[in-house]
Amino acid sequence: MEQLQLDKMLEEKGYIDEPVDPKLKLVEEITRLKKEKNAVILSHFYVEGELQDIADFVGDSLGLAQKAASTDADIIVFVGVHFMAETAKIINPSKKVILPDLKAGCSLAESAPADKFAAFKAKYSDHKVVTYINATAALKTMSDLVCTSANAKTIVDSFPKGQKLIFGPDKNLGNYINSITGREMVLWDGACMVHEQYSVEKIIDLIEEHPDAEFIAHPECEKPVLLLAKYIGSTTALLNYVQKSSAKKFIVATESGILHQMVKACPDKVFIPAPSVDSTCGCNDCSYMKLNSLQKLYVCLKHEQPEISLPEDVIEKAKLPIQRMLEISK
């Protein structure tokens, strides 16, 4: 594609490639714009530390969805990835929802294209559908209930024992929930590129090297990794765990951004990121989450772009399973 065409396409999609004066005090400017525009900044634990520190609320997917639903701000700035901003728009459609970089996608959400998922669902007509929140709005329109990693067990348990279920798009979380509930949910074959890259062998070596450390993991990790874990939970649950535990050292298998909050909450404890198969890849970082930057946040807030928009019928249909989830999780 020619540069002119590419620029036009990006402009239509709300990209503003604006050079920012390097002398500008970005944190001050963002804080000023936020007040001026009555905006709220919601950041996920996986974005850079400085983007967590500037947020009005930093949390896991469930906490962020709850905040997005209850905010009285006019603008929600979602410093996370696309499906999170989309969820905020679905549950609070009268708000303007903006995302610093529209290219901040998610490998899990992308692993389940709507047409393929619809065909998969059609094969199991007597099954209800539980969809992990890391999915597109289109998938949510086909769901009976949405869940996050924090409430997946509660959501699945809310169905009668005999109810057959489909779970998607994360097979690892689905497998884990099957193992702790005794269910046999049919799983969509999707996974998170960050949580699938851990090396079991290297983790075992590291545990041996640090016998005083506790190994903790996010349920998006593969089964062999989860089997080694002393504790498994969502990012918020992991953060709470390290504060409560008497251990002084932890090996952490989830995206590296969470370490920022762990170190802040427990400055006297040691946190070691779990090793990946390729030690040079930096795969502990979610490349989508890391597309966010202070500079992009500033430009996004200044122009109130790129904005998330969805057809009304999609919002109406996708809202029901998310609202039910929020009700059950109160």
Site for ligand SF4 in 270-289 (CB under 6 A): 286, 288-289
Say how many C-beta atoms besides its own lie within 10 A of residue 23's C-beta.
Answer: 5
Binding map of ligand SF4 across residues 52-91, x = CB under 6 A, - = no contact: -----------------------------x----------
Q: Which position among 54, 55, 60, 90 is part of the footprint of ligand 13P (CB under 6 A)?
A: 60
217 binds ligand SF4 (CB under 6 A): no
Which entry of ligand 13P, ligand SF4, none binds 191, CB below 5 to 8 A by partner kind?
none
Q: Give the C-alpha separation, 285 to 7, whole Å.
A: 28
Dist. CA 291–CA 306, nearest whole Å = 14
Binding track over 272-301 against ligand 13P, x by CB under 6 A: ------------------------------
Per-residue buried b or exposed e for 303-323, using 16+ beta carbons within 10 Å of the residue's own CB: ebbbbbebeeebbebbbbbbe
Put the strands of the sheet holding 57-59 in their side by side order. Answer: 57-59, 39-44, 75-79, 96-98
235 binds ligand 13P per the rule CB under 6 A: yes
**Closer residue to ligand 13P (CB): 60 or 86:** 60
Q: In whole angstroms, how far apart are CA 68 and each of 10, 94, 172, 326?
A: 27, 11, 27, 11
284: its two tokens: 């502990």
For the window 183-212, what string marks contact with ligand SF4 as x by the rule CB under 6 A?
---------xxx------------------
Residues 238 and 3: their CA atoms lie apart, in Å, by 45
Summarize as ranges the residues that interact with ligand 13P (CB under 6 A): 60-61, 134, 148-150, 192, 220, 234-235
Summarize as ranges the residues that interact with ligand SF4 (CB under 6 A): 46, 81, 106-108, 134, 192-194, 255, 286, 288-289
